Structure 1
């Protein structure tokens, strides 16, 4: 059943242009932070806010209104562009190939600029196309919440002057509502073209909104500038990146320093108190307990900051085990729950009936009871009647689904041919870049596996707001270790490529599904979002390839500033699953950590909605705290604690907190380009 569309144009050239501009800023930030710590975010809420800011400033010059559905387009284009540094492997897999592959592993593998572009273009489409059929299942039929997508829809609604008085119950109902459930089709859009109202009563709320708007924009600009200026100061005073707050011995020997980066404080605000404290727990266990223990016992005899022989590399194996079991348990639950929910009650009913009809049950019942004799014809007809009823119910459900008009949907023909073309493009480009080093059957298998794992990733994201792409890539690496002989000369390289393809598909399908949820709630045309995401993904792939080449040409990678920890996680996982030995005693500690966090992950999965769930450490958060040096984790913890103080103690609004955090992140991420040029020009510094 199609619902009427809200007012406004869903696809405009100006919306695409604004989305590309916003996406460039976020993509730059993601490349910078990704190479430092592996952290990449689609940042849909900041993208929506910046898109609205652009058109708010241009309001006197607009020829037609800027509406919520066009705001969704801006966010979709920006989101498609923003995730490409991770989706194309530039913060993990590519550095691992370039710098960490050994000569006996067909490395190091140096890819030219054109090879990077070809590789990026090959990876950037099939996840986007595959998200379209998944949308019908998880958004239209099952109506999964997708918390970030829902929050972005609420933000856009408020930015455009709607829904300020909505209660929590009304918003919660709208989150699982149908097409345009958060849209207001009757009201005029507040961001109009040079229109004045003669109604004084209508002017006062508009004036109030303008005051709030001016305050929020000043807050965003101020936080952006403060963070950006501090970033430039870091170039001239590098000591600011590593403050020895626990003493010089702890800093020089055990790497316990603080990087007072406002961007990482902002990341902590967005991550929330629970996640950042779990990351801090990982840092304490990894760098405060395991690292000194491994050093003292001689398990990691090299310098602490040595990835190969030091405790920095030793504790990565423990974090890898935690990530693997977290992924296996979480994805197994997501995959099996629908099956159990559908078939378990019926299976229990059948077992109960068979038990009641068995001789064993007769021992516990009265001996004079008899079972009725079944009629063969009725038994034969009953399944057919049941199937017809089920088909009728399914047909009625499909007919009653609330979605946009048919002309706004992506046609089946485009999805079919687009998916086929994108899969073939991925296979072809991978073959062009790596040649005979990666067998054709391995690439085909990786793409097909990526599509399957994308389903689990999307479902996990819709239910928990966490896209388990790191776990999905590790599962893909584990799977390929089983089908690629360890004796193959390129086994490690094949493992990296297969994991990268799986991660790309799951990441794109998952994160872009958040955008589709936002558009669904606000009544945006899925077709417009689809093409916006395609445009954003294309530009993001090209921009990321150029940005990566510039960073690697100017900075030492891996180096003190860009440690690329995710690249080490990738290469260590590939070596582990392809049969290379672990450091001494790493196997025992990794196994113990794996068993422990399998239990904690299961407990967290089964305790959703309970108050005490936050007390159970999250596996991924703890693992990230382990493989990142403490300086980044401590800054994020400061942001998480500040978020708790602001929201729980002061009882203040979330909006200014999000604005401040966004300004901090974007300020450092974007103005780091200035530091890039200063480094390229070899401007002297201390």
Structure 2
């Protein structure tokens, strides 16, 4: 774990004054952050309600924050009204605020565990559809729940910041990459490149928005529009293999690694191309032919529980491996430095100051302390408030259940933050899934185990997720000389904004569309998947259709096996790097439920980036994220006027459908007045 600094990073800013932490958080940065938070919350909510795949939006947040403030300050400067220049510390504050806010849109569970509590999702899942195992969604209790659970994680990890950043020098790849971006933007060369990137982002944004508007005119009914175009034929379309002209997922595909996109496509081929057609031949043998295809006792049960098994296998494997890695790393540090297993984080005198970068960064990182007593007190007070409030909102989850969650959470938050520093993997959702199984089985189905499991998932995810996000931000602040206090305050402001905005965004979608409909525009797949996990924990394996358990066990161990093979190849095989071709187990599992249409979109995004890199790799690296961000933002933002039109009762003028020749002849005959 070597320091990233090469001795030149801070040389470019030697003569630049670093403002005090109170000047790093300005009115203009807070206003800009709030506006961008609205946009990014909307994007994350839309992704939650479609496929649940959320790419890293740090680069887009940093770039857009730079563009907005830079335009504003340039205009004021020309008018002679600029009082304070735009600094990289202020840029870091904006990025932290926006990412913290949009992170709540994910960890809040609006598209997963909270949605899984609703009676609508419960009606789709056989078993457990009883009043004690459902909870009607309303803004009041969602606001209360998020505000009491989302801030606790921030206080759980603050006392360890110096140990993580200074003593162990954890890399935090996303935090480091964001810092390098912010630092480069505030140099003359970087600002010139940023101007071109922003121009491309604006063009792709406008094009994506306009294309979304154009597509709307052809969607006057179910199954209408470009999104139902049978790209590979009607037979492939019936198996959910088609390109649905989604600019959002083309952009997401450009951001996600090639391996993820190919794994998604491979998972779709294995499930919808091979496995599900084979199981459908067992209709009337393995499951009743009279059941609805959406029933979990029919083919849908195999889809959902096989996906759950793979996700659990992948999640449990990574949890165990992460614990082993953290323990191994700590023991190695102990032996290497001959210190205790729990070193004093305040003992920074022994930290080597090898160059200008390290000296300057360490100086500013230690300048504004956050007292440990304040962090401990904050955690205890907030945990007590949360225990009382959560057990009141969810009577199925008793106060001692929540207490045990808060006793476990700091350890898991440390492991997640430490592991994220080593690998850039946040396992918050995996810890949440483990909590679902533990607490739903503990409470039992007849006592509301499904709601208890889903609520405990929310408590666990919120703590573990915000802890790792904050440590990423501390790393970014360390490399940009932003004060830890300004980082913490901006994280708090962003979290508060997310707790306020995310439920409102959810309610907007909830009123305009039928969230969780497997055949609708927003299937919100994780709502049913998370409820299926809770049902599995509360009811046991009796909830599964015939032979589904055997199939789930096979895919559970397949996910474990895939991860073992990949880790062994990474460790022992370095010549040919075969591990690059081992699929990602989690990505394999997602299409089992949804199909392959979005995987095709994302693979097209990968293909665009691949061809661009072949032509000019430098330009692709510089401008690829800007193009992708514009595609995502434009298409996602079109959802706002589309939803408003839907709420207002306005209908598109045209329905464009694709029919087989035989069906088309019948339609023509009917329209012509034939028999």
Query: Shorter-chain TM-score category?
Result: 0.7 to 0.9
1:411 corresponds to 2:426? no
1:80-479 map, 5 Å: 80-98=100-118, 99-101=120-122, 102-104=128-130, 106-161=132-187, 209-210=191-192, 212-238=193-219, 239-252=225-238, 254-298=239-283, 299=286, 301=289, 306=294, 308-340=296-328, 400=352, 402=362, 404-434=364-394, 436-479=395-438
Q: 1:632 aligned to 574, 598, 610, which one?
A: 598
Q: Is the 8 A contact 1:330 1:605 kept in 2?
A: no
- CA separation in 1, counterparts of 2:341 and 2:640? 62
1:477-496 map, 5 Å: 477-481=436-440, 484-486=442-444, 488-496=446-454
1:647 corresponds to 2:613? yes
* Range 578-587 or range 285-294, more displaced: 578-587
Residue 563 to residue 154, structure 1, CA distance change in 2 (3 Å): same
Q: Is the 8 A contact 1:71 1:156 kept in 2?
A: yes
- CA separation in 2, counterparts of 1:6 and 1:509? 30
Query: What is the Cα deviation at residue 81 of structure 1?
Result: 0.8
Residue 553 of structure 2: aligned partner: 591
Q: Is the 8 A contact 1:330 1:602 kept in 2?
A: no
Residue 664 of structure 2: aligned partner: none
SS at 1:652 equivalent: helix
Query: What is the Cα deviation at residue 249 of structure 1?
Result: 2.6
Query: What is the Cα deviation at residue 218 of structure 1?
Result: 1.8
SS at 2:617 equivalent: coil
Query: What is the Cα deviation at residue 293 of structure 1?
Result: 1.4
- CA separation in 2, counterparts of 1:474 and 1:127? 18
Q: Is the 8 A contact 1:139 1:517 kept in 2?
A: yes
1:35 corresponds to 2:35? no
TM-score (norm 1): 0.81
Residue 526 of structure 2: aligned partner: 566
Residue 237 to residue 25, structure 1, CA distance change in 2 (3 Å): same
* Range 281-290 or range 133-142, more displaced: 133-142
- CA separation in 1, counterparts of 2:134 and 2:342? 57
- CA separation in 2, counterparts of 1:137 and 1:388? 13
Query: What is the Cα deviation at residue 110 of structure 1?
Result: 0.9
Q: CA RMSD in A?
A: 2.8
Structure 2: where are the runs of 5+ without partners? 1-9, 77-81, 123-127, 220-224, 354-361, 656-675
Q: Is the 8 A contact 2:525 2:594 kept in 1?
A: yes
Residue 670 to residue 49, structure 1, CA distance change in 2 (3 Å): same
Q: 1:47 aligned to 44, 58, 61, which one?
A: 61
Query: What is the Cα deviation at residue 33 of structure 1?
Result: 1.4
Residue 557 to residue 511, structure 1, CA distance change in 2 (3 Å): same
Query: What is the Cα deviation at residue 649 of structure 1?
Result: 5.4
* Range 118-127 or range 235-244, more displaced: 235-244
Residue 449 to residue 473, structure 1, CA distance change in 2 (3 Å): same
Residue 590 to residue 256, structure 1, CA distance change in 2 (3 Å): same
Residue 667 of structure 1: aligned partner: 634
Query: What is the Cα deviation at residue 389 of structure 1?
Result: 13
Q: 1:523 aligned to 481, 500, 505, which one?
A: 481
* Range 670-679 or range 237-246, more displaced: 237-246
Q: 1:73 aligned to 93, 99, 105, which one?
A: 93
- CA separation in 1, counterparts of 2:472 and 2:188? 21
- CA separation in 2, counterparts of 1:450 and 1:219? 43
- CA separation in 2, counterparts of 1:51 and 1:224? 16
Residue 630 to residue 389, structure 1, CA distance change in 2 (3 Å): closer
- CA separation in 1, counterparts of 2:346 and 2:561? 38
Query: What is the Cα deviation at residue 516 of structure 1?
Result: 2.1
- CA separation in 1, counterparts of 2:136 and 2:591? 30
Query: What is the Cα deviation at residue 624 of structure 1?
Result: 2.0
Q: Is the 8 A contact 1:43 1:79 kept in 2?
A: yes
Query: What is the Cα deviation at residue 333 of structure 1?
Result: 1.6
Q: Is the 8 A contact 1:228 1:672 kept in 2?
A: no
- CA separation in 1, counterparts of 2:342 and 2:452? 45
TM-score (norm 2): 0.83
Q: Is the 8 A contact 2:562 2:583 kept in 1?
A: yes
Residue 506 to residue 6, structure 1, CA distance change in 2 (3 Å): farther
Structure 1: where are the runs of 5+ without partners? 165-208, 348-385
